[in-house]
Amino acid sequence: MEALQSISIIELDLQDDLIVSWTYPSISEDLQQIIAQRSLLKEQNTNFQEFSFSKFQSTWIYIYSYAFKKESKSLPEIKAFSIALLAQEFHPEKYKALAKLLSKTYRRKGNPLHILEQYLSVFSQGKWDNFNISSFDRAKALSATSINEIITLFGEDFMLIWCALMMKKNIVVFSHNLDEVLKIIRGLPLFVWHRENFDILRPFVQINNIQLQDLQSTLGWVAGFTDPDIRKQNFYDVFVDLTTKTIEVGERAQGQIVLTEEQKSLGQTIFAAVESGKKSDQAIIKALTRKNKEFISKIKSISGENQLTIETIQKLNLPKPTEIFVLSLASAEGIL
């Protein structure tokens, strides 16, 4: 299981002190700080989060937490703890299952050496006890969220998400409920399936310097937040509010993300197909992928055998929204 990089234990003691008590192999101080923050153990009395997945730099972070309902014999000084797994792949279900297994061992034994044995077995052989990596299908992980459910949630406005993704704009997905954010956000790459890129996701980000600096060091991201103060930031292009089921174009993207008549027509067609209940998730993904490739092929054909340039596109005298979309898509696809 080469993608698995590290395991850490985060503990909240009876005095409400939060520490990364053990890690193997060692990880950077930045990552230790991130996993402690994202464990949300400090909020375990009011907002307990059993499982989350997120990303920092190029590392995926999977955190499974457990809170004791009464004093533990094996960990008497601990109120709650988390198992954090760091990996180089997106596969929430697989790492949740592994972290849950390790968590069960730690709360029973209270000694990290016991979970180290399990970790090393999985790392080298891909299995331990009833956990086996061959039981987990990556394709299912990538399509775990229904694209039809997302389209139904926002109606024809879903095309604003599609447009932003095609143009590789920055998207914020907000809800007070982290599980809701994680469910919806992992489905957004399905709208641009021709890229098959889930690395654009930053499923859970908190508002502090180290996390926001990491986010802003990349382009074309989709980031999840539970802190409403994210609205005060000015680095996103589209704001997806799951609490109100609305999508807003950010101030800095006004005039850039404007749906063309062709795109509006596409949105109406796709939404009607979803509403009819006659099209499966896979059918909708295929329909959008086919249309995405058509848009890209049209752009490639503009210059024929010659190198496509901004000047070539501008000479077409396209309507402004169309010109902006064509330029942005050409750049996003590396055609310019």
Residue 198 lies in a domain: yes
| Domain closes at, from 140, 168, 195 | 140
Residue 285 lies in a domain: no
Direct distance between the N- and C-terminal alpha carbons of the chain, in angstroms, rounded to an integer: 39
* Distance (Å, whole) CA 234 – CA 225: 14
128: confidence class by pLDDT, cuts 50, 70, 90: confident
Domain shared by 10 and 132, yes or no: yes
pLDDT of residue 52: 98
| Domain closes at, from 253, 278, 310 | 253
* Distances, alpha carbon 120 to alpha carbons 62, 105, 189, 297, in Å: 17, 14, 33, 48
pLDDT of residue 2: 79
- Which residue segment(s) compose the domain that 41 sits in? 4-140
Residue type, 270: I
Dump pLDDT digits (tens) for 274-332: 999 989 999 999 999 999 999 999 999 987 778 889 999 999 999 999 999 999 999 99
Domain shared by 28 and 115, yes or no: yes
Q: Please give the biggest Cα pair distance in the chain.
A: 75
What's the CATH code of the domain at 10? 3.30.450
In contact, 161 and 191? CB cutoff 8 Å: yes
Stretch 235-261: mean pLDDT: 96
130: confidence class by pLDDT, cuts 50, 70, 90: confident
What's the CATH code of the domain at 194? 3.40.50.11500
pLDDT of residue 333: 93
Domain shared by 28 and 122, yes or no: yes
The DSSP code for 135 is G
Stretch 117-144: mean pLDDT: 91
Domain shared by 128 and 248, yes or no: no
Residue 39 CB neighbour total at 10 angstroms: 27
Portion of the chain with pLDDT greater than 70, in percent: 100
Tokens 């589209």 — which residue? 238
Q: Counting runs of H as helices and runs of E as strands, what totals does the chain give?
A: 12, 12
Count of structural domains within the chain: 2
Domain shared by 128 and 152, yes or no: no
Stretch 73-83: mean pLDDT: 96
Domain shared by 131 and 157, yes or no: no
Residue 327 lies in a domain: no
Q: What's the predicted TM-score (pTM) here?
A: 0.96
Residue 307 lies in a domain: no
Residue 308 lies in a domain: no
* Distance (Å, whole) CA 40 – CA 106: 19
Bridge-partner residues for 232, per DSSP? none
Domain shared by 21 and 43, yes or no: yes
* Distances, alpha carbon 325 to alpha carbons 117, 176, 189, 234, 297, in Å: 53, 32, 19, 21, 14
* Distance (Å, whole) CA 123 – CA 223: 29
* Distance (Å, whole) CA 308 – CA 331: 10
| Domain closes at, from 140, 165, 192 | 140
* Cα–Cα–Cα angle for 213, 27, 53, rounded to 5 degrees: 60
pLDDT of residue 139: 93
Domain shared by 176 and 128, yes or no: no
Domain shared by 41 and 119, yes or no: yes
Residue 289 lies in a domain: no
Domain shared by 149 and 125, yes or no: no
pLDDT of residue 242: 98
44 pLDDT higher than 90: no
Instruction: Count Cβ neighbours within 10 Å for each residue of 2-20 and write b for 16 or more, e otherwise.
Output: eebbbbbbbbbeeeeebeb
Domain shared by 135 and 156, yes or no: no
Domain shared by 160 and 130, yes or no: no
Residue 153 CB neighbour total at 10 angstroms: 15
Residue 105 lies in a domain: yes
Residue 280 lies in a domain: no
